[in-house]
Amino acid sequence: MKFRAAYLLLLAASLLLLSGCYTVPETGRSSFIIPIGDDVALGTAAFADIKAKEKISTDPAANERVRRIGQRIAAAVGDALPGAKWEFVVFDAPETVNAFALPGGKVGIYTGLLKLADSDDEIAIVMGHEIGHVTARHGAERMSQGLMVAVGGVILDSATSGKKNHDLLLAGYGLASTGGILAFSRKHESESDYIGIRYAAKAGYDPRAAVTFWRKMAKASSPSKMPAFLSTHPSHERRIADLQGWMAQTLPIYEAAKLRYR
């Protein structure tokens, strides 16, 4: 048992040595990332998989629209996404109100979401948000945290096995780490909201569309009133209040960029 714990401590220490700090674009936040895999290769493979499984829209107008908006957002992202080979694909699923972005600059958007969005500005807001998760490397950060939590759990298990309160300690650790990961997800959502409206504004899209779009999403989603501290998503009210708070600094960026896209 002692040897195992020592070995795991060594493993945890080497993971920490391997890990690095990543500076999140737009916010400047330092995040902790263990290099587990090649983000770009993983994202590209996953996107190929999704394209093979889902129905790709053949509507030329929808594809052209999404590509045009996407390319402007990609220009706003600039070199914040090294190695990106941008691709914007519309998936034909009228009931699916969703969009996603993967490392490598792969963006998917469902026709259900296009139906709900009233303007290019709203589509740009959603794309900006999804791309924000990627440039901020939220996936890698979450995996890194998950790995440290798992190693920590095993170390605690080894170190306390056979001792009094062993199960209680482990249960407490489980609860604390679950709470931590949930708070983390909410932080990621909010950070992507912020990054997303900045990308949209820099691409010449109206950041105020974030407020109208999330209001509409709030109406469309189930009326469940889960307290914010239990959910992975910030409450709609919280999210809208945050977005409104960021307008004063984002609107001038939009006004300036708009002129370039006249």
Q: Which residues of this protein are in contact with Zn ion, per CB under 5 A? A: 189, 192
Shortest separation between residue 52's beta carbon and Zn ion, angstroms:
24
Catalytic residue among 122, 130, 141, 191: 130
| Cβ burial 33-69 (10 Å sphere, 16+ → b, else e) | bbebeebbebbbeebeebeeeeeebeeeeebebbbeb
Q: Containing H/E element for 130?
A: helix 120-135
C-beta closer to Zn ion: residue 34 or 127: 127
Q: How far is the CB of 132 from Zn ion (least distance, A)?
A: 8
Is the Cβ of residue 156 or residue 194 nearer to Zn ion in the bound state? 194
Minimum CB separation of residue 100 from Zn ion in Å reads 9
* For Zn ion, the closer CB: 128 or 204: 128
Cα–Cα distances (Å) from 190 to 45, 60, 98, 240, in that order, read: 27, 33, 17, 10
Of 73, 83, 163, the residue nearest 120 (C-alpha): 73
CB half-sphere exposure, 136, CA atoms < 13 A: 26
- Active site (annotated) includes residue 189: no
Other residues' Cβ atoms within 10 Å of the Cβ of residue 185: 16
Tell me how far, at minimum, the Cβ of 160 lies from Zn ion, in Å.
37
Closer of 195 and 203 to Zn ion (Cβ): 195
User: Which residues have a catalytic role annotated?
Assistant: 130
